[in-house]
Amino acid sequence: LVLRVDLEEQYLERLRREFPEADVTVVTAPEELRGALGEADAIIGGSPLSPEELAAAKRLRWVQVTSAGVEAWLTPELREHQLVLTNFSGIAAPNIADHVLALLLAFARGLKPLLERQARHEWGEDEAAPSTFEPAGQTLGIVGLGDIGEALAEKAHGLGMRVIAVQRHPHEPPPGVERILPSEGLAELLEESDHVVLSLPLTDATEHILGADELRRMRRSAYLFNIGRGGLIDQEALIAALREGRIAGAGLDVTEPEPLPPDSALWDLPNVIITGHTAASTPRHWERGIELLVDNVRRFLAGEELRNTVDTKAGY
């Protein structure tokens, strides 16, 4: 097992203690990786493998990505390889759900203009209070009801919100979700929601899933939140909708491209909050991640099916 992440000693020791039969090799430098690839049966973490590195890993059967998104890994060479690719989907779901609600509540209480007022050392009169709303009783529409979507639904339901969702393969609604629509029901969700959250992977099928036509279906009072990938939205269409007041605002943790160029109009729009791809940040990442990793190492060594397997053809 070639470990390409700088694990805390307690987690590294746990791997070695639980799997004494496995040779766990930690590599941190590119030259170390080149030397380890030929003997690697599994690779854990690190940046995507180049075609040359993949070709050198003759024994490689499993790659464990330590994030949820895998689009950068899906090169033509890897898609054709026989290895199993797994991800950390679900590990950051609790904190990403918190992040969405933080953005939503920031709009609800007018925090952006209040913080700008604070930066100017300006108290403001009572009549200058920003516009506010209360989430309770409003409808939250989640596009992509995976681990993040389910965690968000449960927390939003706790705030008294009505939750609906769109999912490619609808199933019995989980706790907090009133109704799940198929992919063809996206327009219905957009028309019905006070808040729309994109929590999808970026694939050929989901690129620009929200364009000008879809944005026109949203309510003028609605807010859009994206914690998936920037490419899910036609960004120029979004800028136009925000400028023209066709939607109330947007909370964007992801943009296209990243980093967002300094001259992007999004930075200066008064109805936009940008958080620079920080939603997944949490001090508890490896506290949860080690449990998944240990389980997958056990399964790998036993020849069992791995958890969080990625369909490399579909992209998620």
One pLDDT digit (tens) per residue for the chain, 316 residues: 999 999 999 999 999 999 999 999 999 888 999 999 999 999 999 999 999 999 999 999 999 999 999 999 999 999 999 999 999 999 999 999 999 999 999 999 999 999 999 999 999 887 788 999 999 999 999 999 999 999 999 999 999 999 999 999 999 999 999 999 999 999 999 999 999 999 999 999 999 999 999 999 999 999 999 999 999 999 999 999 999 999 999 999 999 999 999 999 999 999 999 999 999 999 999 999 999 999 999 999 999 999 999 999 999 9
User: Which CATH number among 3.20.20.450, 3.40.50.720, 3.40.50.300, 3.30.420.40 corresponds to the domain 93-274?
Assistant: 3.40.50.720
74 in Cβ contact with 52 (< 8 Å): no
Catalytic residues: 229, 258, 277
Output the pLDDT for position 236. 98
Written as six digits, the tokens of 206 are 């989901």
Query: What is the pTM assigned to this prediction?
Result: 0.95
Report the distance separating Cα 25 and Cα 2, nearest Å. 5
214 in Cβ contact with 187 (< 8 Å): yes
273 in Cβ contact with 226 (< 8 Å): no
Summarised one tens digit per residue, pLDDT across range 11-46 is 999 999 999 999 999 998 889 999 999 999 999 999
Q: Domain 2-90+283-302 belongs to what architecture?
A: 3-Layer(aba) Sandwich (3.40)
229 in Cβ contact with 202 (< 8 Å): yes
Backbone φ and ψ of 124, nearest 5°: 90, 145
* CATH 3.40.50.720 intervals, the chain: 2-90+283-302, 93-274
